[in-house]
Chains A and B, each alone.
Chain A
Amino acid sequence: MKVGIVSYGAYVPRYRITPEEIGKVWGVDGKSMSKGLMINCKSVPSPDEDTITIAVEAARNMMKRCEANPKDIGAIYVGSESHPYAVKPSGTIVAEAIEASPHLTVADFEFACKAGTAAIQTCMGMVGSGMVKYGVAIGADTSQGAPGDALEYSASAGGAAFLIGSEKLIATLNSTYSYTTDTPDFWRREGEMYPRHGGRFTGEPAYFKHIISGAKGLMEKTRTTPKDYTYAVFHQPNGKFPTRVAKMLGFSDVQVKTGLLAPIIGNTYSGAVPLGLSAILDEAKPGDRIFAVAYGSGAGSDAFDITVTPEMESYPRHKAPTVKELNNNLKFLDYATYAKFRGKIHLGSE
């Protein structure tokens, strides 16, 4: 049975802040930070937005573009590292919001920045085995960066949802491969407000090793080379890492350009590859082949080989905003407003 994407939807908050604005507060040269990270601005959730509202927006956009009966959805998995509740699922609210309740299974996933793609893989299994007709996989985050930490310049918000099924596929999920080790490069312990990281250890032995191993593993499994793909998208904690890893693997700037969103929205963590993939699906044509590799700290990578089908021709992409459209009508914040939005201001009485 062929398994793939029946529909998709994305959501990114409209607020933005620039590295220059953040750097001003911390006495850091924001311009060189911006250049070094290849991030011009990052998205910021408004006070009323969290991972659940982002997941709901993305899921609603996904449902707007298809005629699938929400009651046929047998599973919803929300991958995030910023679930608003430590105990109580995000997914149940999404299920109610898209009217998929109550005859389905729901769970929240966490694997740092790749919980969303892990959700896609789980749905592939459930649809492929016939357990469910449709599964919904969502990657969404309102990621945290401690004030003044390097992460504050990149940690942003956004997400995307995918309806996984076996009929009326706009793209087939041809193959997936994961590469996982215990590599503690980035973590947040129970009760801690902000994650901690191993500085430069997050680069070479973590991000690069796992993405490259995941990518090579998938290309070996599918007997493909970078030339076989129209598009490629990699996890993007900043603009620099995915650009470099693409070059190391032999992908060109043209292949990577469409899915590279970090320069305009920052690092959306679990939302990163799902959003990059959405941006690609926004413009892809039948026959286009997409290479996607997500990375999650801790650490692992999920790689996907995806082909766009002729079904895409009649798929009503216009019924929900494209990623490009989500980047119109922006509102830039100063640091004070940003700090308020992100709950970084604590009053004495609290």
Chain B
Amino acid sequence: MRRVAVIGIGDTEFGELWDESFRDIGIQAGLAAVADANISADKIDALYVGNMSAGRFIDQEHIGALIADYSGLARDHIPATRVEAAGASGGLALRQGFLAVASGLHDIVAVGGAEKMMDVSDIESAMIQSSATDQEWETILGATFPALHALIARRHMHEYGTTREQLADVAVKNHKNGSLNPKAQFQREITRETVLGSPLVSSPLRVFDCAPSSDGAAAVVLCPLEEAKKYTETPVEIIGTGQASDTLSLHHRKDICTMEATKVAAKRAFDMAHLTAKDVDLAEVHDNYTISEILAIEDLGFFKKGEGGKATEGGLTALNAEISVNTSGGLKARGDPIGATGLAQAVEIVTQLRGKADKRQVKDAEVGLAHNVGGTGATVVVHLFRRV
């Protein structure tokens, strides 16, 4: 298997991009990544696109071909593949790109992720997002996406004494990081009181416990590590990739306070990289709800089970603390255009490992981790990156 590097990154602003269409933002991010990689588009051998639900959000399927076409790559007839695993679509697309280059089948691969969520009503959007869970056993009975995460939060509070304030601290920290990221959807700091005083969504989760709906796109360009220096002085190697699945519905899990798929995917990635959680300097984790970040930092091995809340409250996950978690602002503040999220995580890690994260730079960052979750944990993709 060949070693693989990221040589280009690109992304759009995340937020309410009323004036731009799905294809607009997809192309913007892709072009930025290609320009950053110092290549011409005709060098691209294959394209992977992460997208959860363009069919329902904008009535457009066949996203792989669409992006290839509007990037001008259709005339070269390159293989263009859409990858879908709900919230993990972006991370999974990255994994497909990685595998394509590692296997030797393709040399230069562009991987993008995009979602246009704001063109449907709030209720429609909530239903589309809930389709990441089990329609027949969860959604149809009223267990929406936030409701399922509220169950997890309640149980975690019950089992481990995690407090309402500790959940709020996740949002406070991520908004603080977001305030340092000019591309973040929310660039204002908030306080515990902001979170605790925001309207209730599904007890105990409030509006400020939830990542927003967003439009946005992000992309990377991959190539074999041995050729990476031809294109960039600061390649970043993907040293580990892990993917795992779990039961689609939450009630079939042994323990809803643990995402087994996160543990397994992380182990696979760490084993591949010959590293452990202790070696990680920064992590972009899937904080679609504040409770999700607490589960993630436990299941990834940064903290013991049940101590994620305390660690957050104690500031151990803040920028340049014990481990810098969600320096981009995370899904919470950077925004969460579902299919783009996994790629946006990769873009942030690469930016950090290049030393280009400006005010939110993690000092001497060597190793970064990206953790991307689909549904309530039925698909998890973990990637490890290292500065070359």
Binding site for B on A (CB under 8 A): 28-29, 32-33, 198-201, 204-205
A32 touches B198 (CB 8 A): yes
Which residue on B lies nearest to A29, using beta carbons? B199
Report chain B residues within 8 Å CB of A205: 18-19
Q: Which of A28, A32, A199, A204 contacts B121 (CB 8 A)?
A: A199
B199 touches A32 (CB 8 A): yes
Report chain A residues within 8 Å CB of B19: 205
For the complex with contacts A29-B200, A199-B121, A204-B16, 9 further pairs of A-B residues with Cβ separation under 8 Å are: A29-B199, A32-B197, A32-B199, A33-B199, A200-B118, A200-B122, A201-B118, A204-B18, A205-B19
Most buried by A among B197, B198, B199: B199
Which residue on A lies nearest to B18, using beta carbons? A205
Binding site for A on B (CB under 8 A): 16, 18-19, 118, 121-122, 197-200
Closest Cβ–Cβ distance, residue B312 to chain A (whole Å): 25
11 A–B pairs (Cβ distance < 8 Å), ordered by A: A29-B200, A32-B197, A32-B198, A198-B121, A199-B121, A199-B122, A200-B118, A201-B18, A201-B118, A204-B16, A205-B19
A192 to B121, CA, bound (A): 19
A201 to B122, CA, bound (A): 11
Interface of B (DSSP majority class): loop
6 residue pairs, one from A and one from B, having the closest CB atoms:
A205-B18, A29-B199, A32-B199, A199-B122, A199-B121, A204-B18
Report chain A residues within 8 Å CB of B198: 32
Which residue on B lies nearest to A205, using beta carbons? B18
Report chain B residues within 8 Å CB of A200: 16, 118, 122
Report chain B residues within 8 Å CB of A198: 121
Which residue on A lies nearest to B122, using beta carbons? A199
Closest Cβ–Cβ distance, residue B208 to chain A (whole Å): 11
Report chain B residues within 8 Å CB of A204: 16, 18
A212 to B16, CA, bound (A): 18
Report chain B residues within 8 Å CB of A29: 199-200
A33 to B118, CA, bound (A): 22
Report chain B residues within 8 Å CB of A33: 199
Which residue on A lies nearest to B198, using beta carbons? A32
A29 to B122, CA, bound (A): 18
Which residue on B lies nearest to A150, using beta carbons? B122
Closest Cβ–Cβ distance, residue A142 to chain B (whole Å): 26
Closest Cβ–Cβ distance, residue A187 to chain B (whole Å): 14
Closest Cβ–Cβ distance, residue B126 to chain A (whole Å): 12
A29 to B199, CA, bound (A): 7
Which residue on B lies nearest to A206, using beta carbons? B18
A28 to B16, CA, bound (A): 25
A199 to B197, CA, bound (A): 22
A199 to B119, CA, bound (A): 10
Which residue on A lies nearest to B15, using beta carbons? A204
Which residue on A lies nearest to B119, using beta carbons? A201
Closest Cβ–Cβ distance, residue B272 to chain A (whole Å): 42
Report chain A residues within 8 Å CB of B200: 29
Report chain B residues within 8 Å CB of A28: 199
Closest Cβ–Cβ distance, residue B201 to chain A (whole Å): 11
Report chain A residues within 8 Å CB of B18: 201, 204-205
A29 to B206, CA, bound (A): 12
A198 to B125, CA, bound (A): 13
A204 to B16, CA, bound (A): 9
A205 to B20, CA, bound (A): 12
Closest Cβ–Cβ distance, residue B115 to chain A (whole Å): 16
Closest Cβ–Cβ distance, residue A2 to chain B (whole Å): 41
Which residue on A lies nearest to B213, using beta carbons? A200
Closest Cβ–Cβ distance, residue B142 to chain A (whole Å): 14
A249 to B18, CA, bound (A): 21
A199 to B200, CA, bound (A): 19
Which residue on B lies nearest to A203, using beta carbons? B16
Report chain A residues within 8 Å CB of B197: 32
Report chain A residues within 8 Å CB of B199: 28-29, 32-33
A29 to B118, CA, bound (A): 25
Closest Cβ–Cβ distance, residue B25 to chain A (whole Å): 16
Closest Cβ–Cβ distance, residue B194 to chain A (whole Å): 11
A199 to B118, CA, bound (A): 9
Report chain A residues within 8 Å CB of B118: 200-201
Closest Cβ–Cβ distance, residue A324 to chain B (whole Å): 32
Which residue on A lies nearest to B124, using beta carbons? A199
